[in-house]
Structure 1
């Protein structure tokens, strides 16, 4: 019967733990702050709470005597939080770079059913018709602000590598309208390319990633020599591209009059639905259209989810190790303090204050570990530049890790959850330890 009772208590703890963690991971910080205030009031205003405060104070005062085991908990949890936040920061930085590339007042038109710009081909007739559709903004001369563009892959030597260390970069062929559609793109060195010339402008991200892209240098693309005449900055995914005259790119890569897409500026930022309806109503066109914000957000989803999945998987594996470390240390601490706990029980302290005190002690160590791990992740990885082959692209995308407050908060919640699990079972064991047995054994 005793074994059955112990089994049911253990099962109840596991169920309560799962439910609590399920609620915990969804709690926003205001709710957590509210719970912390309520808990502080309980400890200050109730008899059991004051008992828990007293027991907690005693336990915390002995942490220096248990510095080794306490450090195991702190370092283990700091490692979990640091790795988790760093991996999630990579996904966040990747997504943010692509999201910044788009806006709600510009749209991208591609061939129907094309998953991405590089998979789309618009024939010359479509390229001529699309800018004439109602709903497109016009410049001072009355010309539609629409940029038919071509994207191709080019291979260049990576910086710091040998001649065999090459990477893919996206070469975008554009016209004058591209600068009007994207006012955030600024020339930061040199000049713009001249129409009809084999001249390139390079994004800052591409210049950092590949060798030979300094202004004035020549590079070989499509079996032809191109001169780098300028450098631009956009602060988004376009920073990783090379830009050249669309007609010259089409000739060099034998694309004829076709283009991959048409990027345009809407006459009314709220008029996307009307513009889309106009495109769909034209029998000459079989195209898809999205705002550039939606398009680039969709392109980032798959990779971001994959990175997030990897981060959470690695975090869970490391968290399991940290939990076992915390359990081991706290069980040892409870065993070492068995006489003290038994004495408190003998003079009238209830089991609840003992449970609360041990869990608070563990969660304090977890909090320190979480803060340490988050701080290290922010110091080391925030702003760290990386690159990867971008979804929907044929070239590398340079981006910066972004350690946001939301990610730091998630890491802190993971730390406290590990501390909660690691302290719960030792705390319950301490509260259920028979007083006479504990006093007799020591």
Structure 2
């Protein structure tokens, strides 16, 4: 009995290792494996017998479709949930990564990891603007935007509950620093006035942000005068003149300074000059690196959470497949025994049952991936970012995620069909033929 338990444990561990290896296999290795299996099925005697036995079993699926649908629906649920969760993480990460550029630098207080805990004094701004490496506009002014952010509360359109939103104050050069920002409705705010432009994503997610509406913020009335699009994290924000915002909220310092540099060489020159000036104990990084770091933690958490949830559901789907295929083997006991009696050996029988299970798993994987793509691809949501305000982003169901979901489906089918297939191959012929 101890040997049997040890054998069972080793079998389960072996299957787990095989599944992990299968999930991480690149598509080229999977394609090579599929070609090898197809070659064996088509060009060897055992393979052809396996195909013939599988054809008989698959032909009887319509009579067993109620039970077989348990495998299809169960695996479709696993794949759908897994792909949706991973698409959420990828969408959030892609949104933040699109927010950055290699020729736009962000300046923060030394040691600060985010704008929320950064402070840059006003007398440091002229020193920053005088550093080499900064690009200049047509008017000759350095392309520098001193900024601060204020978290405000706005009602969500989905459930009308109060939600944290980032209210960003930007300098007059912000439009030239962030060239991807473009007005799609209305106009830009006028410096010195309490006027706001809102991101397209923020307008879609939060109430009261239509052009012409008035918002009461900081005990002052602000007028929405325009809507902008940027296809990045800034679409979740409200923008206003930084000096007007600082006056309203009694802010005496900035939190960050965004600088457009003269290309990659300009960034290196700007960073070196910043580090060489003892009056500026500030950190400099490209906005691409900055936002990539901001996205890392949450996207990894979502991916891990999705994998764990998918793994738990996969265990349930495996048991469903096991139960269904054991029942199918029991129902077809006489049929399988007859096949073995006329010359079908154990390997073709095992392969036939496995092919039948893998076909059902493939159907479930395709169904789950299709549903995830139809329901969640480009679905817009918002979640709490590192600055304690909502970030609006879209789910991103990519071909890579669909491929991952399909591999999970086939892995579940492999485990769910293996033990019933072995039982079918070991079924005593004489006993099975006597069953009614």
User: Could you say which residue in structure 1 is the equivalent of 2:400?
Assistant: 406
Gaps in structure 1 of 5+ consecutive residues: none
Give the drift of 1:400.
1.1
Q: Distance in 2 between matches of 1:208 and 1:26?
A: 38
User: Could you say which residue in structure 1 is the equivalent of 2:243?
Assistant: 247
User: Could you say which residue in structure 1 is the equivalent of 2:204?
Assistant: 208
2:432 aligned with 1:438: yes
User: Could you say which residue in structure 1 is the equivalent of 2:133?
Assistant: 135
> Which of 278, 281, 288 matches 1:286?
281
User: Could you say which residue in structure 2 is the equivalent of 1:72?
Assistant: 70
Cα distance change on mapping 1:228 and 1:8 into 2, 3 Å = closer
Structure 1 runs (4+) deviating above 4 angstroms are 3-9
Give the drift of 1:38.
1.1
Q: Distance in 2 between matches of 1:270 and 1:375?
A: 46
User: Could you say which residue in structure 1 is the equivalent of 2:416?
Assistant: 422
User: Could you say which residue in structure 1 is the equivalent of 2:173?
Assistant: 177
Comparing 23-32 and 62-71, the one that deviates more: 23-32
Give the drift of 1:16.
3.3
Give the drift of 1:298.
0.9
Q: Distance in 2 between matches of 1:161 and 1:419?
A: 40
User: Could you say which residue in structure 2 is the equivalent of 1:351?
Assistant: 346
User: Could you say which residue in structure 1 is the equivalent of 2:59?
Assistant: 61
Give the drift of 1:209.
2.1
Give CA-to-partner distance per residue, 1:315-373, whole Å, 9 cap, x none: 11111111111000101111112222222222222211111111111010000000001
Give CA-to-partner distance per residue, 1:26-52, whole Å, 9 cap, x none: 111222112111110111111111111
Q: Distance in 1 between matches of 2:83 and 2:274?
A: 44
Cα distance change on mapping 1:278 and 1:150 into 2, 3 Å = same
Q: Distance in 2 between matches of 1:279 and 1:363?
A: 61
User: Pairwise CA RMSD of aligned residues?
Assistant: 1.7
User: Could you say which residue in structure 2 is the equivalent of 1:110?
Assistant: 108
User: Could you say which residue in structure 1 is the equivalent of 2:312?
Assistant: 317
The answer as to whether partners of 1:136 and 1:266 remain within 8 angstroms in 2 is: yes
Q: Distance in 1 between matches of 2:250 and 2:271?
A: 31
Q: Distance in 2 between matches of 1:441 and 1:214?
A: 74
The answer as to whether partners of 1:154 and 1:170 remain within 8 angstroms in 2 is: yes
2:324 aligned with 1:326: no
> Which of 84, 96, 113 matches 1:86?
84
Comparing 16-25 and 272-281, the one that deviates more: 272-281
Give the drift of 1:161.
5.7
SS of the residue corresponding to residue 332 of structure 1 reads helix
Q: Distance in 2 between matches of 1:404 and 1:67?
A: 31
Q: Distance in 2 between matches of 1:12 and 1:209?
A: 52
Q: Distance in 2 between matches of 1:4 and 1:173?
A: 70
Give the drift of 1:268.
2.0
User: Could you say which residue in structure 1 is the equivalent of 2:373?
Assistant: 378
Q: Distance in 2 between matches of 1:418 and 1:159?
A: 40
Comparing 209-218 and 379-388, the one that deviates more: 209-218
Q: Distance in 2 between matches of 1:11 and 1:200?
A: 64
Comparing 40-49 and 426-435, the one that deviates more: 426-435
Cα distance change on mapping 1:228 and 1:4 into 2, 3 Å = closer
User: Could you say which residue in structure 2 is the equivalent of 1:124?
Assistant: 122
SS of the residue corresponding to residue 294 of structure 1 reads helix
User: Could you say which residue in structure 2 is the equivalent of 1:33?
Assistant: 31
Cα distance change on mapping 1:5 and 1:40 into 2, 3 Å = farther
SS of the residue corresponding to residue 98 of structure 2 reads helix
2:244 aligned with 1:276: no
The answer as to whether partners of 1:155 and 1:221 remain within 8 angstroms in 2 is: no
> Which of 389, 398, 404 matches 1:395?
389
Give CA-to-partner distance per residue, 1:387-426, whole Å, 9 cap, x none: 12212x2421111111111111111111111101100111
Q: Distance in 1 between matches of 2:382 and 2:342?
A: 64
Give the TM-score normalised by the residue count of structure 2.
Answer: 0.96
Cα distance change on mapping 1:7 and 1:353 into 2, 3 Å = farther
Give the drift of 1:8.
6.1
SS of the residue corresponding to residue 120 of structure 2 reads coil
User: Could you say which residue in structure 2 is the equivalent of 1:238?
Assistant: 234
Give the drift of 1:159.
3.2
Give the drift of 1:274.
4.2
Gaps in structure 2 of 5+ consecutive residues: none
Give the drift of 1:440.
3.9
SS of the residue corresponding to residue 37 of structure 2 reads helix
Q: Distance in 2 between matches of 1:10 and 1:337?
A: 26
Q: Distance in 2 between matches of 1:182 and 1:8?
A: 63
